[in-house]
Amino acid sequence: MPLTTEATGTPVTETYWLSHAWLGTHVEPGVALDVSDGRIARVRTGVDAAPPGATALRGLTLPGLANTHSHAFHRALRSTVQVGSGTFWTWRETMYQVASRLTPDTYYALARAVYAEMALAGITAVGEFHYLHHAPGGTPYDNPNAMGEALIEAARAAGIRITLLDTAYLSAGFGSGPDDHREPDRHQARFSDGTADAWAERAALLKGDDHTVIGAAVHSVRAVPAGQLATVARWAEERQAPLHVHLSEQTAENDACLAAHGRSPARLLADHGVLGPRTTGVHNTHLTDEDIALIGSTGTGTCMCPTTERDLADGIGPAAALQQAGSPLSLGSDSHAVIDLFEEARAMELNERLRTRRRGHWTAAALLRAASADGHAALGRPGAGVLEPGAPADLVTIALDSVRTAGPVPRLAAETAVFAASAADVRHTVVAGRHLVRDGRHTLVDDVPRALAQAIAALRP
């Protein structure tokens, strides 16, 4: 929050001095940012030392990171799902068990801790792909948005911004023909509103503010009947809201869609008005050349989640081809196998190296943009994710003197951030000018590891 005078409440400019700053194209030493009313008011370069009264951020300061795809409750699965073997579909059964035990209160506690972990990792905004709407069995809570509002309040308590992507999840999968879908099973009953119209009516009750953007999501083509896709797309269009969708994450879903509709999931979404520049496809893993061209030509974004995609043995998506076709790239931690946007950025490049046996598909600058400005844009926050006047004063500073980052010259600090640093190197996080993480400690959540441990323990059977 901005500083104010006690007498008038008028915002007072606060100054952050950055020993090194990433300005989008290069690392600049000695930068002063004047912040007023939660936004960057002025950027001054050539400032060799911290001005009197300024807060010094030593290391490399970047725009705050955007975690474009999150399922907060999946954090409770970390390590538990690493026992034994299987596929995405066997992992999903374990996920359902955790989902069945959540209440608004326990979800708030878990999400607050998860979002605090994100702040410690330099994430200043999260896209929460939210489909856990109702009580077990599918009965709505007295407040039909109790679970979504718990997530909004959890993000507020942890100090980060949230785009709540309220998700339509209406069926268990394809049936025998294009107009036939299977009813949600007992695990999925609490995800479903029954129809897209009922989903839209409930979602319309959610309210955004400076901290919260309300968006929409189609869980997947298997979970929303084709005849109801347009309802979700229209809801987002009317509100100029971001619209996200899990797309071609699994080959089994592609095969089922082709059998039911005679077309790929990407083509099915396009035919019902879902694709477009405010839409982001999450994963976009198993695509045909026609799918890639379709996604790119419509300006539909792509959110890659490499740590989850490899954890679930999903495959490596064609990120480079998608970007070349016109699809902006963003990054997400999805199932939270780890929460580390530097690792996500690094993994996208390294995955492509493994696939092609060639290095250097993206520059460090391009990967940082995917982790910041393009991610914020995908979350309905255009203009965020840059260190420029008028942008939100959301910052993250990584150490340049840790065992991972020490040694390279400062002008290579962006390369150091992407290819060597980790979330453990984050020293400071600032959101709307407020110093949220200071010297590696969260200022609002006293003991984040303990909060995580307690919230997860409460969900064990």
Q: Which of 274, 358, 372, 288 is nearest to 328 (CA)?
A: 372
**Residues acting as catalytic residues:** 283, 334
Q: Is 89 exposed, middle or buried (0-12, 13-18, 19+ CB in 10 A)?
A: exposed
Task: Specify the residue for token string 């995955």.
Answer: 351
User: Is the CB of residue 188 less than 8 Å from the CB of residue 176?
Assistant: no
User: Is the CB of residue 185 less than 8 Å from the CB of residue 97?
Assistant: no
Q: Determine the Cα–Cα distance for residues 152 and 174; give it in Å rounded to an integer.
A: 32
Q: Determine the Cα–Cα distance for residues 308 and 317; give it in Å rounded to an integer.
A: 12
Task: Specify the residue for token string 């979700």.
Answer: 232
Three-state DSSP class for residue 340 = coil
CA angle 327–166–137, rounded 5-degree value: 135
Token pair of 92 as six digits: 């999903």
Contacts of 455 (CB under 8 A, 6+ apart): 76, 106, 109, 110, 112, 113
Phi, psi of 102 (to 5 degrees): -85, 145
